[in-house]
Amino acid sequence: MSISQHVQREIARYDTVARDAYAEYAEALASTGRSPSGRMDPVAMENGAMLEEVRRVGGRLGAKLSAASKAAMRSTLFAALEEARREGADVTPTVALHAAERVIGRGVSMRAANAAFGRPGRTAADKTSLEPAELAELEAKVRQEIQHLRDELGRIRDHHRQRWRDSPQRDALLQEWRAALGEASIKPLLEV
């Protein structure tokens, strides 16, 4: 599989994750401020408890999307490094760690790098034979794919966010909260 194909697969995977995460978000928000019987419960809404729960639910949504984005970038980088390895490049876990820092702007797990690029019996003293110029060329090639991936993941995230904001489900939920709490009380909740 080429790197471009890998990127397309990661984009499709992220879209599924985002769709599912927003569905869970909507479900969690719908149960916020309710009694076990499903009715709006004033006790569950007082003293900022509801706002706190709404923020917690939003935080979980953000964490899921962020984790999926980071996993997609790491997977794409590792796929490019694996392809280079198949073509004869001496890619070690240390090379993968340094490439991640330079290409995606963050580190990756040493455990993941060892699992993907470690070789039994090879020690840290056995340095890579990969020349800096070769690594720079490889990084430049994958950097373009990672940027394309980032752009697409951002578009997907924005698309799902807008779908939620325009959804009848969100409108109905806000109407219900307005009826239960009053217009002034739901102002902080309008960002959901």
State pLDDT tens for residues 147-159: 999 999 999 999 9
Domain count, the chain: 1
Q: Inform me whether the pLDDT recorded for 138 exceeds 80.
A: yes
The pLDDT value recorded for residue 176 is 86
- Are 76 and 8 in contact by the 8 Å Cβ rule? The answer is no
Task: Tell me what the pLDDT averaged over the chain comes to.
Answer: 89
Q: Inform me whether the pLDDT recorded for 190 exceeds 70.
A: no
The pLDDT value recorded for residue 131 is 83
User: What mean pLDDT comes out for the span 110-121?
Assistant: 90
Instruction: With CA atoms as reference, report the closest residue to 137 among 84, 100, 97.
Output: 84
Strand, coil or helix: 124: coil
The pLDDT value recorded for residue 41 is 75
For residue range 27-61, what is the model confidence (pLDDT) as tens digits?
999 988 787 787 877 776 777 778 888 889 999 99
DSSP state of 38: S
The pLDDT value recorded for residue 185 is 67
- Of the pLDDT bands very low, low, confident and very high (cuts 50, 70, 90), residue 182 is confident
User: What mean pLDDT comes out for the span 158-183?
Assistant: 89
Q: Whole-angstrom Cα distance, residue 101 to residue 90?
A: 18
The pLDDT value recorded for residue 181 is 75
Strand, coil or helix: 191: helix
End-to-end CA distance of the chain: 39
Let me know if 164 is exposed, middle or buried by CB neighbors in 10 A (0-12, 13-18, 19+).
middle
- Of the pLDDT bands very low, low, confident and very high (cuts 50, 70, 90), residue 119 is confident
- Are 159 and 20 in contact by the 8 Å Cβ rule? The answer is no
Q: Inform me whether the pLDDT recorded for 170 exceeds 70.
A: yes
> What is the domain range of residue 53?
3-191
Q: Percent of the chain, pLDDT > 90?
A: 57
